[in-house]
Chains A and B, each alone.
Chain A
Amino acid sequence: MDVSQYLEIFIDETNGHLQNLSDCIMSLEKDPENMDTINEIFRAAHSLKGMAGTMGFKRMQRLTHDMENVFQEVRSGNMNVTSGLVDVLFQCLDAIDAYLENVKESSDEGTDDNEAIIQELNDILAAGTGNAPQPAEKPAEKEEKPKEDPSGGRFQKKYHDMDLSEKEKEELRESEEKGMNLYGMTVYIQEDCLLKAARAFLVFKAVEEFGNIIVYNPSSQDIEDEKFGFDFSFYVASETELDRIIEVSKAVSEIEEVVGEKVVYKELTAAAAKKEEEEAAREAEKARQEETAVVPQAQAAPQAKPPQAQANKKQNGGKPVTNRTVRVDIEKLDALMNQVSELIIAKNSLVSIGSTSDGGMGSNSQAFHEQIEYLERITTGLHESVMKVRMVPIESVVQKFPRMIRDLSKKLDKKMELYMTGEDTELDRTVVDQIGDPLQHLLRNSADHGLENAETRKKRGKPETGSIHLNAFQEGNNVIIEVSDDGNGIDTENVKNKAIERGLITPEQGAALSQKEIIDFLFMPSFSMAKQISDVSGRGVGLDVVKSNIEALGGDVEVKSVLGEGSKFTVRLPLTLAIIQALMVEVRNEKYAISLGSIETIEEIMADEIKFVQAKEVIHIRGMVIPLIRLDQLLDCEPEDEEKESLTVIIVRKGDKFAGLIVDELNGQQEIVIKSLGKYINNSTKIISGATVLGDGEVALILDVNTLF
């Protein structure tokens, strides 16, 4: 049977369940008693099993089935969660992940049976419960529907459990009054059925030949979307005999059993009322349990809370909220973005016409300007909306980190804890896709080289468990991601010695270097290749890759470190890549754009205010000594005949470093569309990060001031 059309959904949902499982198992490790977490894991494993079965991935189904068994026992209190169990569970997740990877690549789960893991699971199961592994004849099913009649055997008349709305009750009553028979029916589909929704549809179609289906459980929408287990119930009003209806329903292939009986409206409502009472009592009980459970959980695992909260909501709310999102191919968004860019260029040219043809327009000019301003507002708004569509939370990237740190903690035999904030910070999709590796690298660095072992930590009076923080937040037009640890910090003396040893600097130069300049050595490509003599020098491993990755995204990274107290890596990323607000400047009649994000202030200074430090020009402004860069010299312009008396200086900032750029003229602020120079032009200095088309059709170059520091 062709299930390929469901593959994408399957992959997506499996990913979601895996992440959910990973989060839950993490928090379970900290709080093994939390029933909510255990239930959530059970549910996720169960869904995974169901989905894998539906898609015909038998190996995956088997593995998840065994996981489910283990949790069945944990849930019913026959077994405790041990760290050994958690380890095996993580192995299971990895194995499922591997299946999923195979599915992604070849639409097939692969051939790895993962016998070892399954064996381990079963061993734990046997050891935990004190008896041989159960053949597992659907304990899950029973547990999942605690409402069902214990004496009723395998096929329950589940329609008794249905919740009826007032309107549905009304309809039932009316049908009965019209002299029709009301039947309640529950249909069981075979568990290896691949297209449950289609089968359900055929059943409905058959039944509706004889009467009206009034109430569905789950709702008809959910059934259509395959959001149901292997059974569904409905009430039907018909003039035909019940047997006949059951017969036609059973005639649909892959239907295992159909149960039903004639019902009377009065009894129905009475039963429902009783059930509601029970429900209320149960809810109250659950609420009490949750209240007690939430407190320790909140303390133990702040980072695990969001998914937890979500899980609770799902549980209480019953049916999931209808999905209000649309999947869009990123290429379509790119096309849309390009068109918005074109629109902005067109608008800019209208603006420039408006500002030059002022005189001739007379009374029209006022209206013209108003319309242009209106257009400007719309294009800016449109641009923002399109950008927002492309934004995704970094959550999808960072959510795998707690697990990674946990594994590292075991591997390195160091106790450590990862605290994350700001997972909901949003970034452009293209940036999010590429930020994972650098961040992972920084975290590994912190875990491996930053944090000391427990002994050293104790000696230094630090808590035994090291902490690593990952904080993300928005700052102006940038998103900042900080990775910090309370470990050893960077031993700058060691780094300096290494630099001298490698002949990068002379000892004299080394003495004059600031802490910051020394730390910058760590980002040099060749430096990281150094043979690791001390473990501190290991900090350089791969940092150059981190830096170049982040710079490729238009961001930068810097480090602060205090020896013995820890270090902090700050990654700064631009919110958007395609359109920026820029200040237009002129240098010898050439136009350049400087991103507004990096501009601090603009100063008018007199030529005689320029001072010299180490033969370099600086200015002294508001207590700061800022190096000056003459853009005309930097950009190889024709030298000017005479020095001007008054100079325009743009103070730009990168992190906590400043520089003053001397320009000839300011041309105001403008929204510009960044275009690439192409690959023909040699741009090794990277001073020019791109070009943009101005309103009058002229081309201006975009200066990347980050390269000037």
Chain B
Amino acid sequence: MAGNISVAEDGRKQFIVVKIGSEQYGIDISYVDNIVRMQKITRVPKAQAYFKGIINLRGEIVPVMSIRTKMDLEPDVFTDVTRIIILKLEEHGVLGLIVDEVKEVVTLGPDEIDKVAYDAKNNKSNFINGVGKHGEELISLFDTNSIIDETESV
């Protein structure tokens, strides 16, 4: 999974920093297609619990996932700063992730990223493949593919 963030010689990568609960998470910017404001989500009956439903993104139907439900956090509270991050994944199509707030874009070099040991007891870390250090702050880096992989296997 660590292979996901290994890049060219230069090795610097950009991440979009979002807030979920009290933690900060980073999403590899190369997967991000768009960031949209919260909008009406149409519930899909019988779908997995962490799928909030679907939205209309300029005529396209996009499924929206609650990353909080997926990580067993308390349910989403929608505010003015709640955003849906639209991820575009090769072959898999698009997918929306609900985040509490979008903060900034940071560039991290390989020396600023620590790998995390896989902890089977902690479900959350399944989606994290590194921790970035940006100044004083720590940013957990999402492993975008593992979010999808697990979804598909359901």
Q: Shortest distance in angstroms between A606's beta carbon and chain B's nearest beta carbon?
A: 28
Please give, as numbers and ranges, the residues of chain A lying within 8 Å of B40 by CB-CB distance: 698-699
Q: Shortest distance in angstroms between A402's beta carbon and chain B's nearest beta carbon?
A: 42
User: B51 interface residue, CB < 8 Å from A?
Assistant: yes
Please give, as numbers and ranges, the residues of chain B lying within 8 Å of A698 by CB-CB distance: 40, 42, 56
**A242-250, A289-297, A385-393, A670-678: which one contacts chain B?**
A670-678
CA A698 – CA B93 in complex, angstroms?
21
Q: Decide if B47 touches A682 in the complex (CB within 8 Å).
A: yes
B contacts with A, residue count (CB < 8 A)? 26
**A677 and B61 contact, Cβ closer than 8 Å, known pairs A683-B47, A697-B56, A699-B56:** yes
CA A697 – CA B152 in complex, angstroms?
28
**A636 and B93 contact, Cβ closer than 8 Å, known pairs A677-B54, A680-B51:** no
Q: Shortest distance in angstroms between A284's beta carbon and chain B's nearest beta carbon?
A: 66
Give the interface of A toward B (CB within 8 A): 342, 345, 590-591, 634-637, 675-685, 687-688, 691, 693, 697-701
Q: What 1/0 mask marks residues of chain B from 123 to 154 whose CB sits below 8 Å from any chain A CB?
A: 00000000000000000000000001001101
Q: Decide if B154 touches A701 in the complex (CB within 8 Å).
A: no
Please give, as numbers and ranges, the residues of chain A lying within 8 Å of B3 by CB-CB distance: none
Please give, as numbers and ranges, the residues of chain B lying within 8 Å of A682 by CB-CB distance: 46-48, 51, 154
Q: Which of A635, A637, A684, A693 contacts B61 (CB 8 A)?
A: A693
Q: Decide if A691 touches B92 in the complex (CB within 8 Å).
A: no
Starting from the known contacts A681-B54, A693-B56, A701-B45, 16 additional A-B residue pairs (CB-CB under 8 Å) come to A345-B59, A634-B45, A636-B46, A676-B61, A678-B93, A678-B95, A680-B65, A680-B92, A680-B148, A691-B61, A693-B59, A698-B42, A698-B56, A699-B40, A699-B55, A699-B56
**A678 and B46 contact, Cβ closer than 8 Å, known pairs A698-B56, A699-B54:** no
User: B63 interface residue, CB < 8 Å from A?
Assistant: yes
Q: Decide if B63 touches A635 in the complex (CB within 8 Å).
A: no
9 A-B pairs with least C-beta separation: A635-B45, A699-B42, A675-B61, A681-B47, A685-B46, A680-B63, A691-B61, A699-B56, A693-B56
Q: Decide if A691 touches B59 in the complex (CB within 8 Å).
A: no
Please give, as numbers and ranges, the residues of chain A lying within 8 Å of B152 by CB-CB distance: 679-680
Please give, as numbers and ranges, the residues of chain B lying within 8 Å of A677 by CB-CB distance: 44, 54, 61, 63
**Who on chain A is nearest to B91 by CB?**
A679
**Who on chain B is nearest to A697 by CB?**
B56
User: B103 interface residue, CB < 8 Å from A?
Assistant: no
Q: Shortest distance in angstroms between B72's beta carbon and chain A's nearest beta carbon?
A: 18
User: B115 interface residue, CB < 8 Å from A?
Assistant: no
**A691 and B48 contact, Cβ closer than 8 Å, known pairs A590-B43, A677-B61, A680-B151:** no
Please give, as numbers and ranges, the residues of chain A lying within 8 Å of B63 by CB-CB distance: 677-678, 680-681
CA A637 – CA B43 in complex, angstroms?
10
CA A698 – CA B56 in complex, angstroms?
7
Q: Shortest distance in angstroms between B87's beta carbon and chain A's nearest beta carbon?
A: 11
**Who on chain A is nearest to B154 by CB?**
A682
CA A676 – CA B44 in complex, angstroms?
12
Please give, as numbers and ranges, the residues of chain B lying within 8 Å of A680 by CB-CB distance: 51, 63, 65, 92-93, 95, 148, 151-152
**Who on chain B is nearest to A342 by CB?**
B59
CA A697 – CA B45 in complex, angstroms?
20
Q: Decide if B151 touches A701 in the complex (CB within 8 Å).
A: no
Please give, as numbers and ranges, the residues of chain B lying within 8 Å of A691 by CB-CB distance: 42, 54, 61
CA A680 – CA B62 in complex, angstroms?
10
CA A590 – CA B59 in complex, angstroms?
19
Please give, as numbers and ranges, the residues of chain B lying within 8 Å of A699 by CB-CB distance: 40, 42, 54-56, 61
Please give, as numbers and ranges, the residues of chain B lying within 8 Å of A675 by CB-CB distance: 60-61
**A688 and B46 contact, Cβ closer than 8 Å, known pairs A678-B61, A682-B154, A699-B54:** yes
CA A699 – CA B59 in complex, angstroms?
9
**Who on chain A is nearest to B148 by CB?**
A680
Q: What 1/0 mask marks residues of chain B from 75 to 99 whose CB sits below 8 Å from any chain A CB?
A: 0000000000000000011110000
Please give, as numbers and ranges, the residues of chain A lying within 8 Å of B54 by CB-CB distance: 677, 681, 691, 699
